[in-house]
Structure 1
Amino acid sequence: MTVYFIQAFIYLCAAVVAVPIAKRLGLGSVLGYLIAGVVIGPVVGLVGDETLAIQHFAEFGVVMMLFLVGLELEPKMLWDMRHRLLGLGGLQVGLTTVVVMAIAMALGLGWTLALAIGLIFSLSSTAIVLQTFNEKGLAKTEGGRNAFSVLLFQDIAVIPMLALIPLLALPELVAKAQQLAQQAAEHHEELSLVEGLPGWGYALVVIGAIAAVVVGGHFLSRPLFRFVASAGLREIFTATALMLVIGIAALMSLVGLSPALGTFLAGVVLANSEFRHELESNIEPFKGLLLGLFFITVGAGIDFSVLFSNVGMVVAITLGVMAVKATVLFVLALIFRVKGSDRYLLTLSLAQAGEFGFVLLSYSVQNHVLPAGIAQVLSLVVAISMFLTPGLFIFFDKVVLPRFEAKSNEREADKIDETGAVIIAGIGRFGQIVNRLLVANGVKTVVLDHEAGQIDNMRAIKIKSYYGDATRPDLLHTAGIEDAKLLVIAIDDQERAVELTEYVKHTYPHIRILARAYDRGHHYALRFAGADFIISETYHSALTLGTQAMKELGIHPFRAEQLRQTFVETEAKSKEALYQAWKDNTEESKFNATYRDLFMQLEEALSNEMKADRHDKHASSERGWTPPPKGYIDVIAEMQKDQD
C-alpha cells in the first residue's frame, strides 16, 4: 500500500508543479502534463514499469471526455453549424487523412498502416487551441469560430475512427497477440457476452446493447436523476453520474464495442436533459484528473533513445505533417471565403497534431494496427508538434496580425458630406442607442468609427455612418466640430477616449463633451480631461437589476425604490471627495491607501443610510409606488431576526 501512496504522490506532485508553470508560459495544460511525465520518467527515473498499467486505467478519462463531448452536442446547435461543421470540418479531416495516407504509402507503408497514420494526424489539439483562443480573446473572431467548428467535427470523428481502427489490424500482429493471449488465458479470463456467438447472434446483441443505451438514456435517466436529486446529497448524484458512465462503458466492453462509443452515444441522448449541467459538473473533475494522468503516462513512456537515434526523421515528419495540415487548411479557408487575418488564424492554430492522437496511437497498438516501434516515433511527432503550437500563435500575433491591421488602417477615411449638431465617436452597442434616440427625435448626428466592419454593419441596416478615426483633428474638422454643440465619446479604447476629450476641450472649449466611462478609474480620467458629463456604462443597469433583486426577495417595491435612491444620493455625496483623493495622488496607482480609506467610509455611510426609515421626502422615481404601511421597516427587521 505504501508503494501506491508514494507513486500517487509523485504523479500528483509532478502535475501540480509542471501544469501551472506551463500555463503561465502559454504552453497549455496538456503540454504541462507531458513535460511532467518526461521529467519523472525518462529524465529523473522516479516512475518505471507501472506506467503502462496506470495508462490503461487513465484511459478511462478519454471515455469520460467523449461522454462530455456528447452532452454538448445539442441537435439545434449542430443544425445551426451544419455548413461549417460538415463542410469545413469534414473536408479538413478527409483531405488531411488522404494526403498523409498517400505520402505514407509513397514511402513504402501498407495501406492499412498509412490510413491509421492519416487518421491520427488529421486531428488537432482541442485543449491547446481553445484555451489559447480564450486567453487571447480570439474565440469570437471569424477564424476562431471556424476553428471551433473544425475541432468539434474532429472530436465527433474520433468515434468512427475508434470503430474503424480495429478493422485495420495487421495479421502478423494479431497472430503474435493471440499467442500472448493464450499464454495469459491460463491466469486471466476476459468477460464477454458475444464470445462464441454466430454472426447473426453477435449482431443482435450489439443492436440490443445500443438500443438499451438510447432507450434507457431517454426514458429511464430522468426518473432516476429525479429520485437521486430528491435526496439532496451531492455525493450521491456524483456516484450516479459515475455509475452511468462506468456501466455503459462496461456494457460496450462486454459486447465487444468501444466504451468511448457507448458513452458518447449516451451523452448525445442526454444532451437535452435538464440534468445535463449537473452531469457535466460532476464528471468534469474526474475527466480532467484522469486525462491529466493519461498525458503524464504518455510523457513518462517516451523513449529518448528512440528520439536521439531518429532525431532527423522525427523532426522531418513533424514539420512535414504540420506543413500538410497548414496547406489543407489554407486551401479550405480560400474555398470557404475566410478572409484576412482569420484565414491565417485558422491555418496556424490547427496545424499541430492533437491529444487524441495519443489516444488513437495507444488504441492502435492495443488493436494490433501499429507496431510499438512506429507508435513510439509517431508519439514523439505528436508531442513535438504540440510543443511548437505556442510558437505558431506568437508568429500570428507578432507577424500576421500587425500586417493585416496595417492594411486595415490604410483604408482612407470616408468623405464626410454633412454636418450635425452632435458628433458621435463610436457606434458600438453603446453609441448605437444614443444615436437612435437622437435621430428618432429629429437631431442631426454625424457618426464616426474606426472599425471598418462596424461601419459596414451599420450601413447594412441603413444607419448612416463614416469610417475614420475620431481622434484625428482633420476628420473632426470635416465633420463640423466648430459648429457642433455636443460631442458624444463612446469609443472602447480608454486611452484614446481620454486623449480625444483633452484635445477637444482644449481646442474647442465651447463644445459640451458627453462620455462613456468603462469603470471608476476611467470616469475620473475623463473628468480630469474636461468631460462635462460622464456615465459609467454599467451603473444604471446594475442599479435596476439590484433593485429588482430586492423586490424578488420580498422587499416592498416602494421600499426598494427608496433604497435605490438612497444609494444614488449617498454615492453623490462622496463623489467629489473620492475624485479629489484620486486626482491629488501622484503615485502610478492612484487608488492608494487614502482613497481606499475614503471608499471604506463611503461603504459604512451607505450601510447606515440604508437602515434609516424615510418618511420625510420621496424622489420622483418613488412617487409611482404605493407606500408600505407605517412601521414596515420594523416588521421586516423582526422577520429577519426570526429567520436568523
Structure 2
Amino acid sequence: MTAYFVQAFIYLVAAVIAVPLAQRFGLGSVLGYLVAGVVIGPVAGLVGQEASTIQHFAEFGVVMMLFLVGMELDPKALWAMRVRLVGLGGLQVLLSALAGLGVGLWFGLVWQTALTVGFIFALSSTAIVLQTLNEKGLGKTEGGRSSFSVLLFQDIAVIPVLALIPLLAVIPGTEESGSGLVTGKHLNLVDGLPGWAHALVVVAAVAAVIGGGFYLGRPLFRYVVRSGLREVFTATALMLVIGIAALMSLVNLSPALGAFLAGVVLANSEFRHELEANIEPFKGLLLGLFFITVGAGINFGLLVDAWGTVLGLVAAVILVKALILWALALLFGVRGSNGWLFTLGLAQAGEFGFVLLNYSVQNRVIPSDLSQLLSLVVALSMFLTPLLFIAYDRAVLPWYRRTRNADREADAIEEQAPVIVAGVGRFGQIVCRLLRANNIPTVVLDHEIEQIENVRQIGLKSYFGDASRPDLLETAGVEEARLLVVAIDDRDRAVKMVEHVKQFYPGVWVLARAFDRGHGYRLRQAGADDVVSETYHSALELGGHAMTAMGVHPMRARQMTWAFLENERAHEDELFEAWKDIQEGMSFSPRYSELFMKLEEALSGAMQQDWDEPRREDVPVWTPPDKNSGASSRTDA
C-alpha cells in the first residue's frame, strides 16, 4: 500500500509543479503534463512499468470528456454537422489510411500490416485537441467545430477498424484460446458470434444507451436527488459513465463513443449542469494523469538507438497528415486561420493508436518490435501537438491579423465631428448608439475590419484605421474636437493614445474605458479626464438588483449604490496616490492596503446608516459645459 501512496504522490507533485509553470509561460496545461511525465519517467526514473497500466485507467478521462462534449450538443446540433462529420471526417480517415498504406508498402511492409499502420496514424488525439481547444476558447470557431467533427468520426471509425484487424493476421502463431465472455483476460460478449448476431448485439447496446438515457435517466436522477445527498448524485454520475463504458467494451465498441451518445441524449436534461459539475473534476484529473503517462512512457533508449528513423517517421506523420488536412480544409471551405487551426490541431497520432497497436500485436498483424517503434512515434507526435498550437497562437494567427489589416489602407475620413470614438467593439458601440440617438455627430475609428463591417450593418458610419496613429487622429479632426472616447481593447495602446492627445491637444476632453482598477490608474496618470471601468457600473447595477432580490426596497437599494459610488469617489485620490508608490518600484505598498481596508470600513459604515428618501437638494445637479470648453462641470445644489 505504501508503494501506491508514493507513486500517487510523485504523479501529483509533478503535475502541481509543471502545469502552473507551463500555464505561466503560455505553453498550455497539456504540454505541462507531458513534460512532467518525461521528467518523472525517462529523465529521473521515478516511475516505471506501471505507467502503461495507469495509462489504461487514465484513458477513462477521454470517455468522461466525450460525455461532457455530448452534453454540449443536442440531436439537432449533431444532425446539423452531418456533412462535415461524414464528409470531412470520412475523407480524412480514408485518405490518411491510404497514405499510411502507401508509405508502409514503400518501406517493404506487407499490405495487411501497412494498412493497419495507416489506420493507426489516421486517428488524432481527442484528449489533447479538445482539451487545448477548450482552454484557448477555440471550440466555437469554424476550425474548432471542423476539428471536433473529424475527431468524432475517428472515434466512430475505431469500431470497424477493430473488427477489421483480426481479418488481416499475417504473422504465424497459435491463436489464444477463449470464447464467450472471456477472451484472454478481457470480458467480451461478441467473440465467437456469427456476423448477424454480432451486429444485433451492437445495435442492442447502442439502443440501450439511447433508450436508457431518454426513458430512465430523468427518473433515476429524480430518485437520487430526493435523497438530498450530493455524494450520492456524484456516485450516480460516475456509475452512469462507467456503466456505459463497460457496456460498449463488452460489445467491442468505443467506450468514448458510447459516452458521447449518452451525453447527447442527456443534453436537454434539467440535470445537465449538475452532471457536468460532478464529472468535470474527475475528467480533468484523469486526463492530466493520462498525459503524464504518455510523457513517462516515451522510450528514450529506443529513441537514442534509432533517433533518425523515429524523428523521420514523426515528421512524416505530421507532414503527410497536415497536407491531407489542408487540402480537405480548402475543399470544405475552412480557410484562413481556421484552416491552419484545423490542420495543425489534427496533424498528430492519437491515444487510440496505443489501443490499436496492442490489439494488432495480439492478433498477429504487427510484430512486437515494430509496435514498440510505432508506439514511440505516436507518443512523440502527441508530445509535439501543444507546440503546434503554440505556433498557431504566436505565428499563424498574428500573421493573418497583420496581413488582413495591412492589406487594406486606412479609409479616407470624409468628415470631422466634435466627438471622436476610438474603438467600436461591444463597449464603444453603446456609446456611439447613445450619441447618435441624440443627434451628436461622431467620427468612429477601429482597426478591426470585422467590427467596422458589423457596425455599418446597424447604420453606424465608421472608418477603418488605427486610432492610435497620430496622423489618423489629425485627419479625424482631433485638433478641433471637443471630446475623445477611448474604447479600444488594447491596454497599452489606449494609455499611449491618451498620453499623446493630452500632450498635444490638452483642450480635448478624454473619456477612457478601463479594464480594471490598475488600468484605470494608468489612464488617469496619462491624463484622461474621466475613466470608467468596463464592468464597474454593470456590476453595481447587478448588485442593486441582488439586494432587491433579497428583500431590500428598490429605492433603498438605489441609495446604497449611490453611497457605494460616493464612497469610492471620496477615497479615489488617496488610492491613486498610493498606487503610484507601487508603480515606482515598491513590490508591496502597505499604505495602499491600509487605504483599501479603510475604504471597506467606510463602505460598511455607509451601508448601516438609516435611510430616508433622497431630497432634491441631495441629488447632484449637473450644469451643461461651456461650448468653448471640452469639460463639463458638476455641482451640488
Q: Which residue of 2 aligns with 1:493?
A: 490
Deviates more, 1:52-61 or 1:593-602: 52-61
Q: Which residue of 1 aligns with 2:242?
A: 246
Structure 1 counterpart SS, 2:216:
helix
- Where do 1:189-588 residues align within 5 Å? 201-255=197-251, 257-366=253-362, 368-396=364-392, 399-401=395-397, 403-407=399-403, 408-409=405-406, 411-583=408-580, 587-588=584-585
Distance 1:613 1:185 in 2: 77
Structure 1 counterpart SS, 2:489:
coil
Contact 2:423/2:444, CA 8 A, preserved across alignment = yes
Once the two structures are superposed, what CA deviation does each residue of 1:561-601 show, in whole Å capped at 9, x if it has no partner?
Answer: 22122212222222233234335766146983222211211
CA RMSD of aligned residues (A): 3.7
Contact 1:84/1:146, CA 8 A, preserved across alignment = no
Q: Name the aligned partner's letter for residue 506 of structure 1.
A: Q
Give the C-alpha shift of residue 390 in structure 1: 4.3
Q: Name the aligned partner's letter for residue 383 of structure 2.
A: F
Q: In structure 2, do the counterparts of structure 1 residues 561 and 317 end up closer, same or farther at CA, with 3 Å as the change threshold?
A: same
Q: Which residue of 2 aligns with 1:77?
A: 77
Distance 1:131 1:258 in 2: 19
Q: Name the aligned partner's letter for residue 120 of structure 1.
A: I
Distance 1:185 1:509 in 2: 84
Q: In structure 2, do the counterparts of structure 1 residues 362 and 551 end up closer, same or farther at CA, with 3 Å as the change threshold?
A: farther
Pair 1:614 & 2:605 matched: no
Q: In structure 2, do the counterparts of structure 1 residues 51 and 438 end up closer, same or farther at CA, with 3 Å as the change threshold?
A: closer
Deviates more, 1:167-176 or 1:374-383: 167-176
Q: Name the aligned partner's letter for residue 139 of structure 1.
A: L
Distance 1:140 1:181 in 2: 44
The answer for unaligned runs of 5 or more in structure 2 is 620-637
Distance 1:147 1:72 in 2: 14
Distance 2:223 2:38 in 1: 46
Distance 1:213 1:328 in 2: 35
Give the C-alpha shift of residue 200 in structure 1: 5.1
Q: In structure 2, do the counterparts of structure 1 residues 2 and 509 end up closer, same or farther at CA, with 3 Å as the change threshold?
A: closer
Give the C-alpha shift of residue 472 in structure 1: 2.4
Q: Which residue of 1 aligns with 2:95?
A: 95
Contact 1:28/1:131, CA 8 A, preserved across alignment = no
Distance 1:11 1:36 in 2: 8
Q: Name the aligned partner's letter for residue 385 of structure 2.
A: T
Structure 2 counterpart SS, 1:169:
helix
Contact 2:112/2:170, CA 8 A, preserved across alignment = no
Distance 1:620 1:108 in 2: 94
Contact 1:322/1:351, CA 8 A, preserved across alignment = yes
Distance 1:51 1:232 in 2: 39
Structure 1 counterpart SS, 2:344:
helix
Contact 1:29/1:128, CA 8 A, preserved across alignment = no
Give the C-alpha shift of residue 275 in structure 1: 1.8
Pair 1:68 & 2:52 matched: no
Deviates more, 1:531-540 or 1:347-356: 347-356
Distance 1:94 1:199 in 2: 24
Distance 2:472 2:375 in 1: 58
Distance 1:598 1:620 in 2: 30
Structure 2 counterpart SS, 1:531:
coil
Pair 1:167 & 2:150 matched: no
Distance 2:598 2:201 in 1: 73
Structure 2 counterpart SS, 1:607:
helix
Structure 2 counterpart SS, 1:544:
helix
Q: Name the aligned partner's letter for residue 178 of structure 1.
A: E
Give the C-alpha shift of residue 346 in structure 1: 3.7
Distance 2:18 2:607 in 1: 49
Q: Name the aligned partner's letter for residue 327 of structure 1.
A: L
Q: In structure 2, do the counterparts of structure 1 residues 120 and 588 end up closer, same or farther at CA, with 3 Å as the change threshold?
A: farther
Give the C-alpha shift of residue 88 in structure 1: 4.5
Q: In structure 2, do the counterparts of structure 1 residues 553 and 486 end up closer, same or farther at CA, with 3 Å as the change threshold?
A: same
Q: Which residue of 1 aligns with 2:598?
A: 601
Normalization by structure 1: what TM-score? Answer: 0.84
Aligned length: 618
Distance 2:559 2:383 in 1: 59
Once the two structures are superposed, what CA deviation does each residue of 1:331-374 show, in whole Å capped at 9, x if it has no partner?
Answer: 23433445544444443343232334334434444555433322
Q: In structure 2, do the counterparts of structure 1 residues 92 and 390 end up closer, same or farther at CA, with 3 Å as the change threshold?
A: same
Structure 2 counterpart SS, 1:370:
coil
Give the C-alpha shift of residue 257 in structure 1: 4.5
Q: Name the aligned partner's letter for residue 273 of structure 2.
A: H
Contact 1:28/1:128, CA 8 A, preserved across alignment = no
Q: Name the aligned partner's letter for residue 234 of structure 2.
A: T
Structure 1 counterpart SS, 2:95:
helix
